Structure 1
Amino acid sequence: MGGEIRKLVFKKKKSLTIIFLIAILAITAGYFTIKNVDDKNLEEEINRPREYEVTRGNITAGTNGAGIIKFESVDHNFSQSVTIDEIYVKEGQRVSEGDKLVSLSVEEIQKKINELYGSLKRANMELEQAKKAPEYSKDAVELAELEVYRLNTEINKLYELRESPVLYAKVSGVVMSLGGTANSITSPDIPIVVIGNSDKVFAEIVVSQNDINNIQKDQIVTLEVAALQDEKIPGKVSYVNLKPNSEGNSTTYKVIVDVEGKDYGLLEGMTTNAQFILKEVKDVLILSNKAIKLKDGNQVVNVKNEDGTLREVTIQTGFSDGRNSEILSGLKEGDTVVVGG
């Protein structure tokens, strides 16, 4: 009985092994079938004819960098320390030249004028005493006169502020920061409002140490901003900062590029890519370098005829940016060049 059971178990294991081997063979055969199909498709893709048209346009070569858009800052403040009554703008708000920004408390200005008049009265008394002193001192008189002059100047400035207690925007742009709140006291050294001037836009570009020697003042630059697709924004280098910025093993330099031309609607902080133009040819015949091959030391292409046949043409190229070449002879605009097949 035990022998029969062992025979049955052996037969079952043998059957499973055969089934397993058949499955492996089927998978392997399928793999090679799929691989052969993929290899065939890849070969067909490689050998598929590709057509390149001769066009007319510009070819540009240059050095690249990346950075952010910035606005020239314009500070707005009062000449005296005074109390703010109301602020009419918020950070990030777009404003126009002449817009109302901040108003002052006329009541607090008058209080300060009254206080200064009290100080002026005392200063005048001290001046008279200095002049009449038994031991007359020219220096003491001059110091007293300076104090009287200072107080009169401050009072006159406060009178002007009392007559015109509103601060207006000097330029159009975006409010970048506020230096006070309602009822706070201003300081002549701290701007109450800082506006980023939308008419004075520039880009701060980071350039690698390998490329910085290719950059110079007044160099033409093309800027591209992700928010403005397909827009080529002209610019010009206004400043090259040769102080290095080192992070890890990387050394970079900052270059300032002034944005030229119309208002593109740029905002501070937008990221931008920059191409510093080293050389550019305009309104020339252009062909992809992929369409050009060398034969016996000559540059040749296969031009497609009207009937679909091909003819080999020797050409002469000029300037190239590494992707496209200027065609000096052998082709005309609209010609179709075929590669492969």
Structure 2
Amino acid sequence: MNTRKKARRRWPLVLGVCVLAIALVGASFFAARSRATEESLPETCTIARGDVEATITGNGRLESADTLDVFLPEGVKIEEVLVEAGDGVKQGDALATLEQDSLQELAAQLSGELSALDAGLRTRRLESTIESPVRGRIKYLPAGEGDDVIEVVCQYGALAVLSTDGLMQVALETGSPLALHTEVSVKWSGGEETGTVAARTQDGYVVTLDDGNAPYRGRADVYLDDVYIGSGTMEIHAPLAVLGAGGTIGTVHYEEGDEVYAGTTLFTLDNEPAVDAYRQTMAERGETTERLRDVLQYQSAPYVYRLDGDGQQVRTPIQTGLSDGTNAQVLSGLQEGDTIVCGGETRENPGQAMGFAGMLERREALMGGETDA
């Protein structure tokens, strides 16, 4: 009796649990399907006008994108610096004043260099010479009158070859034992000379002899007490090649076998202005002239650029007088009605009391030299 009542009480509980479980399973199923549906939908964005921002990181040193180095002639000293680092300047602004003594000293030095170059050019006539660099004897002379210098050097290796120590040499290949400094007889076609065993070589000996009569590259036989030792070619013992940079040989002043001294003229060239030495001297003169011109401009009096009748700028030196910081009195150099260039603009000259907008005071725009303003 009691058992049945307990059983009837458990059935509603079991039924409730089953219903709850089914509900949970169903909810989970539908939730899973909902999530799957949401995940299957693509993400969407709305197109709108806007700005794109990007951050770039790095390191380094900030530098000006456009720089201009200002140089002074070597030897010029600065008297006073008129600007500081960070100051803004424009074309024509004075950066520093220069020491006049150093300018005068450099101008004198350059003037002397220019005079020396001019003297050198005056001594160069329309012909040039090739001289012997040392004392010696001409043993080989392939160059002749009318020959091109460069062609001769390329074909023969030199315009001439000198023997500088008075000796020729013969290299002997022999197995005969000879003592150094032994005297031997060197014979060639048409001549003979006493020689000396001067050195041993791997294959024999070197015999030297006087260069007065021995022919260059002639074949010679060597004898010791009338006993034949060997033979070889006579070469210059201490040769020196004479070369040239260009031109045409007009005159050959010596012959093979002649003895010459250092500074002796061996060849005269007809077209000296075409040779490198002349062109180099002219180039040096041009560079020196330009440097002297720059220094003289630093020393020059104040000037302005005046427009002539054709609108061309003409540099015009002026003499200044009183100045109030804005206007400066011009004592000479300009006339009423002249047009001058002021910082890129033109202004009519109203008279001696000119409105330079402080141009003389600051030495700016197209002014140059020193002023009293």
Q: Which has the higher strand share?
A: 1
What is the TM-score when the length of structure 1 is the normalising length?
Answer: 0.27
When normalised by structure 2's length, the TM-score is: 0.25
